[in-house]
Structure 1
Amino acid sequence: MTLWLRRRWGAWHGPKRWQPRGGSLRRLLVVWPLAALWGLVALFIGVHAVQQMRTNADWQDNTLRVALLAWPTGQGTDSDADTGAPAYATPSVRPQWLRETRLGGERLAGSAAVPPLLSVHELGAPGQVHFYLAEIDGQLARVGATLYQPAGVAAGGEPVVRQVARRWNERLPTAGQMLDNPVLRAVYALALAMSAVSVALAHVASAWLRRADASLERPAGAAVAPYEGPSELAPAVVHLRTLQAGQSRWIEEQRRFLADATHQLRTPMAVLRTQLQSAIHGDVLPADALQQMLHTVDRASGLANQLLSLSKVEQLKRMGELPCVDLNAVAREAVMELAPLIAAKRLDFALEGPDLSVPGDAALLGELMRNLLANAIHHTPAHGRLGVLLRDSTGWREMLVWDEGPGIEDGVRQRLFQPFSAGKGGVGLGLSICKQIAESMGAEVTLFNRQDAGRVVGVDALVTWGPSAAPGDTGATLAPGGLPAAPGAAPA
């Protein structure tokens, strides 16, 4: 039983909280508060109406009792034109109907529309007033009846039954009574004022929302209008503007990229078609044509693979928090994959540095490493040197791919990271993909020439991650350009 109660308590008071669903803000700010407000006003009016009804009922019963006590005797008064009965000396206590009847039921005076009592025993002792409801002339009426015993009964006078009646609806509170009450007038005024304030505030809030919406719907390229809405909505508007700017920028970049990619993919396909036609017409030897076609297919396949890598980069940018990746393992795997190319040129290769972990995606980080290594292998002369150096110094984690290539001209270096901008023999996406992969992982990739005595002796590709929470060992000692210290070596 105790376990069941604990489970039920956890189900009722657990972490789940009620969350409002979608709806109208105007309804939330106006309809529901005003409905609650006027509901309270209606409750207050109802309570006052019940109290007023009781007051009217007491007044009506007292008036009927006074009318029975002040029954006119007929001396010195005018007669009632409708009933033939003597008129009351005080008109304020005169009932709508009255009737005087013998105990046997014979009407002596008053209106015949008043039904006689079926049982006189209900009246009790003479002078006591009995109240009841009856229908008179098609209207519900409150009737007061009493047994009147004339003073001459002992001398042979006969008791009579006297009945007076007033309309029952007199007991209901009138509009004047409900409006004349000072407390109710204050309640009405306060409710109307609060309703007007609520409607005005809802109008202001709607105007704020419309201005915020208008600021978000600005045309492309237009200046950003200053936000003039409530402070609570400012973070949301700023966030939406940031999303809009990023989405617009991404769409524009994708549009340009697709246009360039379409052009670049169309070129190898046209070349392949020309090569096929040349082979069919016998303009070139079949072996040469097949070799040329294989090169063209390899170029198109490389371009397609790099386009797929770019699509993976966009997915990585939207992942949010990235897992930690073993940078050493990724570097070793990339080196093993490109080992045949290193061996073919008989290059002296070195992989150095401590164990490092960086945020990112293992597959894309491997693509970044392979691209940088492929460039270094391609530009390093045969029997030359190249390597990969890892370092974690004061929290700045770095991966350096260095070679002994001819260097990069300043004019070419500025556009190497742009899509479809490459030197001889490339498709122009490798370094662009490297830059985008690095940025998606919170890193930065840079290229610079390494110089020795004023002469370019190689190229360094440096990938840098920001400060880490727990810096590791510094590892190998680096020269200012990032290479292991060597006499006479200095970066550009």
Structure 2
Amino acid sequence: MTLRTRLTLLTFAAVLLAMLTFAGVAGTVLWRAELSSISRQVDAQAEALLAIADTTPGRLNATARDILEENGVTATARVYRSGVQVWSGGSLGPPRLDPAFLSGSGVHVVRRTGEYLVASQREGPLIVEVGRSLEPLEKLLRRYVLIAALTLLGLSTVVGALVAAQVRRALRPLETLAGRVQRLDLPSPLPALHEPGEVGALARALDGSLKALRAEREHETLFLASASHELRTPVTAMLADVQHTLSRPRPAEELRSALERTERTASRLRQLTGNLMTLTRAQRLPAPPGAPLPAVDLLHLAGEAVDLLQPLATRRDLDLWLDGAPAHVRGDVALLGSVLENLVGNAIKFTPPGGQVRVTVEPGADRARLVVEDSGPGLPSGSLTEAFVRGHSDVEGFGLGLAVVRQVVDAHGGELAFGQGEDGGARVTVTLPLAVDGPETASPVDTLVPM
């Protein structure tokens, strides 16, 4: 049974029960009110007959009709003297005098006898009974029940139809929403985003989740395409070089040269594999606000990256500088280390001999800023917006490294910006939120991802 059917039936049953309760209470009140009114009428009629009752039947015959007729209804009566009936008007059935009326004075009572409501009064030897049939009242009650039942059935049907229409209208956005959610790749926003109440809240929550899911799928597709390209090129080159070397006997020095080329290609593959593992780990990192991450000193981490890459800078005749102040941010030590190694390593690769690379850590009011600046040729404009593009076609290893940097920075709730340095080279700025609970929470360790 669908939700719409359940809600309709539940509402129909609730409305019908409420109307039945109201009709029952109203019928009971009506019955008691009418019964009380008849009781007062027959009691008053008995008292009036008692006041004129004597041994002269003619007097009773002359005035009893006026007394017993009220509102178009004629009551029946009997008059007793010393327990013997001396007059009657109509029929109340066989005499059924209460023994209490055979003695004492000033006694009166109203009781139901069969289908009559009877009022009895006594004054001395005289006893008067006035009765009124309850059959008209019972017919009225039966008519009321019939009319009430038909009215309740009609009203309940109308209310049920209205409720069903309203429920269908209220649930229509959910049906549309369910059909739309099944088609994840549609770029159009979900319906019912501006609906009030729970439907709108659900639509907005689903819309946010679907946007994040689509972005994740696009990111994975782009990442897989780039990773395949990055891995295919060195593997193809290494395979071609090995096949060419094995095509005929080679002298020892030529074989050594081929092995050195293979070693360089294998080192590049290891670097690409490390980057891929770093990206996978960054994707599993909880995005802020999430599980608390340790607080690490960005300056200390930058110092370790500079120490690690200093030999490479020395071989390329570059000056590698580190400047700034301690700045504690929350993050994964290995992932942040991979960011520093990628940025500093790429700056070293892109800077011609005799140049310089400067790393600066600047703490702010609520965010820390890491700046890596070189004196190389700078970044082409396309590299500023595309995460998986090579910065320079003649230098390997930039595209996937930049993907690592972007993914890790995003996972830590930071921002990545590119620009031109003072010397015309590339300037990369990473901004990360500061750790609010200070530097005592954790310290960095020497576990950096090899690049």
Q: Say if 2:227 is the partner of 1:261.
A: yes
Q: Say if 2:416 is the partner of 1:437.
A: no
Q: Would the aligned equivalents of 1:98 and 1:163 in 2 still touch at CA under 8 Å?
A: yes
Counterpart secondary structure, 2:186: coil
Once residues 260 and 367 of structure 1 are traced to their aligned partners in structure 2, the CA distance between those partners, rounded to angstroms, is 19
Measured at CA, do residues 329 and 255 of structure 1 come closer, stay the same or move farther in structure 2, by a change above 3 Å?
same
Once residues 272 and 314 of structure 1 are traced to their aligned partners in structure 2, the CA distance between those partners, rounded to angstroms, is 30
Map residues 159-170 of structure 1 onto 2, 5 A cutoff. 164=131, 166-167=133-134, 170=137
Map residues 43-442 of structure 1 onto 2, 5 A cutoff. 46=25, 52-65=30-43, 68=46, 70=49, 90=69, 92-95=73-76, 116=96, 120-121=99-100, 124-125=103-104, 128-134=107-113, 136=114, 141-145=116-120, 164=131, 166-167=133-134, 170=137, 174=141, 206=170, 213=177, 220-222=186-188, 229-230=195-196, 241=207, 243-265=209-231, 295-316=264-285, 318-320=287-289, 325-342=296-313, 347-358=318-329, 360-380=331-351, 385-391=356-362, 398-405=369-376, 407-408=377-378, 410=380, 413=383, 417-419=387-389, 423=393, 424-426=395-397, 428-440=399-411, 441-442=413-414
Q: CA deviation at 1:66?
A: 5.0
Once residues 272 and 95 of structure 2 are traced to their aligned partners in structure 1, the CA distance between those partners, rounded to angstroms, is 109
Measured at CA, do residues 297 and 101 of structure 1 come closer, stay the same or move farther in structure 2, by a change above 3 Å?
farther
Measured at CA, do residues 403 and 62 of structure 1 come closer, stay the same or move farther in structure 2, by a change above 3 Å?
closer
Q: CA deviation at 1:328?
A: 0.5
Q: CA deviation at 1:391?
A: 3.6
Q: CA deviation at 1:367?
A: 1.4
Counterpart secondary structure, 1:307: helix
Q: Would the aligned equivalents of 2:81 and 2:125 in 1 still touch at CA under 8 Å?
A: no
| Partner AA of 2:75 in structure 1 | R
Cα-Cα RMSD: 6.1
Measured at CA, do residues 469 and 162 of structure 1 come closer, stay the same or move farther in structure 2, by a change above 3 Å?
closer
Q: After superposition, what is the alpha-carbon deviation per residue over 1:325-367, rounded to whole angstroms, capped at 9, x for unaligned?
A: 4210110222233345345556543322222345654433221
Once residues 282 and 391 of structure 1 are traced to their aligned partners in structure 2, the CA distance between those partners, rounded to angstroms, is 58
Q: Would the aligned equivalents of 2:106 and 2:121 in 1 still touch at CA under 8 Å?
A: yes
Once residues 134 and 382 of structure 2 are traced to their aligned partners in structure 1, the CA distance between those partners, rounded to angstroms, is 107
Q: After superposition, what is the alpha-carbon deviation per residue over 1:210-267, rounded to whole angstroms, capped at 9, x for unaligned?
A: 6995997697244899976559988886676555444323322322322333454456
Q: CA deviation at 1:429?
A: 0.3
Measured at CA, do residues 52 and 415 of structure 1 come closer, stay the same or move farther in structure 2, by a change above 3 Å?
closer
Q: Normalization by structure 1: what TM-score?
A: 0.56
Q: CA deviation at 1:375?
A: 1.5
Once residues 125 and 397 of structure 1 are traced to their aligned partners in structure 2, the CA distance between those partners, rounded to angstroms, is 109
Once residues 316 and 236 of structure 1 are traced to their aligned partners in structure 2, the CA distance between those partners, rounded to angstroms, is 26
| Partner AA of 2:170 in structure 1 | S
Residue aligning to 2:148: none
| Partner AA of 2:73 in structure 1 | S
Counterpart secondary structure, 2:73: helix
Q: CA deviation at 1:127?
A: 6.3
Once residues 80 and 271 of structure 2 are traced to their aligned partners in structure 1, the CA distance between those partners, rounded to angstroms, is 120
Once residues 92 and 292 of structure 1 are traced to their aligned partners in structure 2, the CA distance between those partners, rounded to angstroms, is 124
| Partner AA of 2:371 in structure 1 | L
Gaps of 5+ in 2: 146-151, 437-451
Counterpart secondary structure, 1:125: coil
Measured at CA, do residues 163 and 282 of structure 1 come closer, stay the same or move farther in structure 2, by a change above 3 Å?
farther
Gaps of 5+ in 1: 1-22, 79-85, 152-159, 179-187, 471-492
Measured at CA, do residues 364 and 292 of structure 1 come closer, stay the same or move farther in structure 2, by a change above 3 Å?
same
Counterpart secondary structure, 1:429: helix
Measured at CA, do residues 112 and 102 of structure 1 come closer, stay the same or move farther in structure 2, by a change above 3 Å?
farther
Q: Would the aligned equivalents of 1:389 and 1:399 in 2 still touch at CA under 8 Å?
A: yes
Measured at CA, do residues 98 and 291 of structure 1 come closer, stay the same or move farther in structure 2, by a change above 3 Å?
farther
Measured at CA, do residues 147 and 52 of structure 1 come closer, stay the same or move farther in structure 2, by a change above 3 Å?
same
Q: CA deviation at 1:61?
A: 1.9
Q: CA deviation at 1:443?
A: 2.3
| Partner AA of 1:399 in structure 2 | L
Once residues 307 and 248 of structure 1 are traced to their aligned partners in structure 2, the CA distance between those partners, rounded to angstroms, is 21
Residue aligning to 1:448: 420
Q: Would the aligned equivalents of 2:414 and 2:432 in 1 still touch at CA under 8 Å?
A: yes
Once residues 171 and 442 of structure 1 are traced to their aligned partners in structure 2, the CA distance between those partners, rounded to angstroms, is 84
Once residues 288 and 366 of structure 2 are traced to their aligned partners in structure 1, the CA distance between those partners, rounded to angstroms, is 24
Measured at CA, do residues 333 and 42 of structure 1 come closer, stay the same or move farther in structure 2, by a change above 3 Å?
same
Greater share of residues in helix = 2
Counterpart secondary structure, 2:326: coil
Once residues 386 and 246 of structure 2 are traced to their aligned partners in structure 1, the CA distance between those partners, rounded to angstroms, is 39
Once residues 231 and 132 of structure 1 are traced to their aligned partners in structure 2, the CA distance between those partners, rounded to angstroms, is 60
Aligned positions, number = 400
Q: Would the aligned equivalents of 1:419 and 1:428 in 2 still touch at CA under 8 Å?
A: yes
Q: Would the aligned equivalents of 1:54 and 1:171 in 2 still touch at CA under 8 Å?
A: no
Measured at CA, do residues 329 and 468 of structure 1 come closer, stay the same or move farther in structure 2, by a change above 3 Å?
closer
Once residues 239 and 89 of structure 1 are traced to their aligned partners in structure 2, the CA distance between those partners, rounded to angstroms, is 78
Q: Which has the higher contact order (CA 8 A, sep 6+)?
A: 2
Counterpart secondary structure, 2:371: strand
Q: After superposition, what is the alpha-carbon deviation per residue over 1:61-103, rounded to whole angstroms, capped at 9, x for unaligned?
A: 234335656499976999xxxxxxx9997472324x9798996
Q: Would the aligned equivalents of 1:279 and 1:289 in 2 still touch at CA under 8 Å?
A: yes
Once residues 443 and 312 of structure 1 are traced to their aligned partners in structure 2, the CA distance between those partners, rounded to angstroms, is 19
